[in-house]
Amino acid sequence: MGWKEVAEPVLARMPVVRRPESHVPFKRKLAWTASVLVLYFFLTNVALWGMSTNTDAFGQFRTVLAGSQGSILQVGIGPIVTASIVLQLLGGANLLGLDTDDPRDQILYQGLQKLLVVIVTILTALPMVYAGFIQASPQVASQLGVSLAGIRILLMAQIVTGGLLILYLDEIVSKWGVGSGVGLFIIAGVSQRLVGGFLSLEGGFFVTWFKIFTGDIAVGPIPGVGLETIIVGEGQLLALATTLFIFVVVVYAESVRVEIPLSHARVKGARGRFPVKLIYASVLPMILVRALQANIQFLGQLLNREGISPDWLGVYTQSGDPIGGLMYYLAPIYTPQDWMWFTGQTPAGIETWQIMIRVAIDLGFMIGGGAIFAIFWVETTDMGPEATAKQIQNSGMQIPGFRQDVGVVEKVMERYIPQVTIIGGALVGLLAVMANMLGAIGGVSGTGLLLTVSITYKLYEEIAEEQLMEMHPMMRQMFG
pLDDT at 38: 94
Residue 429, C-beta contacts closer than 8 angstroms, at least 6 positions apart:
286, 289, 363, 366, 367, 368, 369, 370, 371
Confidence bin at 246 (pLDDT 50/70/90): confident
Confidence bin at 317 (pLDDT 50/70/90): confident
Residues, the chain, total? 480
Contact between residue 258 and residue 239 where contact means Cβ atoms under 8 Å apart: no
Domains of the chain: 3-14+26-177 (1.10.3370.10), 217-479 (1.10.3370.10)
Percent of the chain with pLDDT over 70: 90
Confidence bin at 478 (pLDDT 50/70/90): very low
- Region of 153 on the Ramachandran plot (φ > 0 left; ψ -120 to 50 alpha; else beta): alpha
DSSP string, 278-335: TTTT-SHHHHHHHHHHHHHHHHHHHHHHTT---TTT-EE-TTS-EEESHHHHHSPP-S
> Count of alpha carbons within 13 Å of 97, Cβ hemisphere only?
4
Instruction: Count CB neighbours of 405 within 10 A.
Output: 12
Residue 472 has pLDDT above 90, yes or no: no
pLDDT at 225: 46
Distance of CA 142 to the CA centre of its chain: 40
pLDDT at 449: 85
Contact between residue 65 and residue 59 where contact means Cβ atoms under 8 Å apart: no
* Residue 83: closest CA among 292, 381, 249: 292
pLDDT at 1: 56
Confidence bin at 189 (pLDDT 50/70/90): confident
pLDDT at 479: 47
Task: Pick the range with the lowest mean pLDDT from 218-232, 297-311, 440-454.
Answer: 218-232
Residue 152 has pLDDT above 90, yes or no: yes
Residue 154 has pLDDT above 90, yes or no: yes
Confidence bin at 224 (pLDDT 50/70/90): very low
Q: Which residues pair with 262 in a beta bridge?
A: 272
pLDDT at 223: 42
> Count of alpha carbons within 13 Å of 147, Cβ hemisphere only?
2
pLDDT at 232: 65
Between the ranges 83-87, 193-197, 426-430, where is the mean pLDDT highest?
Answer: 426-430
Question: What does the pLDDT average to over 285-313?
Answer: 86
Contact between residue 285 and residue 376 where contact means Cβ atoms under 8 Å apart: yes
Distance of CA 281 to the CA centre of its chain: 13
Question: What does the pLDDT average to over 314-324?
Answer: 83
Residue 151, C-beta contacts closer than 8 angstroms, at least 6 positions apart:
50, 136, 137, 140, 141, 144
pLDDT at 287: 83
Torsion angle of alpha carbons 199, 446, 335, 129, nearest 10°?
A: 90
> Count of alpha carbons within 13 Å of 163, Cβ hemisphere only?
26
Question: What does the pLDDT average to over 397-402?
Answer: 80
Contact between residue 449 and residue 435 where contact means Cβ atoms under 8 Å apart: yes
pLDDT at 203: 75
Residue 379 has pLDDT above 60, yes or no: yes
pLDDT at 362: 93
Q: Which residues pair with 258 in a beta bridge?
A: 276
154's enclosing H/E stretch is helix 148-176
Contacts 24+ apart (CB under 8 A), 94-103: 97/2, 97/4, 98/4, 100/380, 100/382
Q: What is the pLDDT of the chain when averaged over all its residues?
A: 84
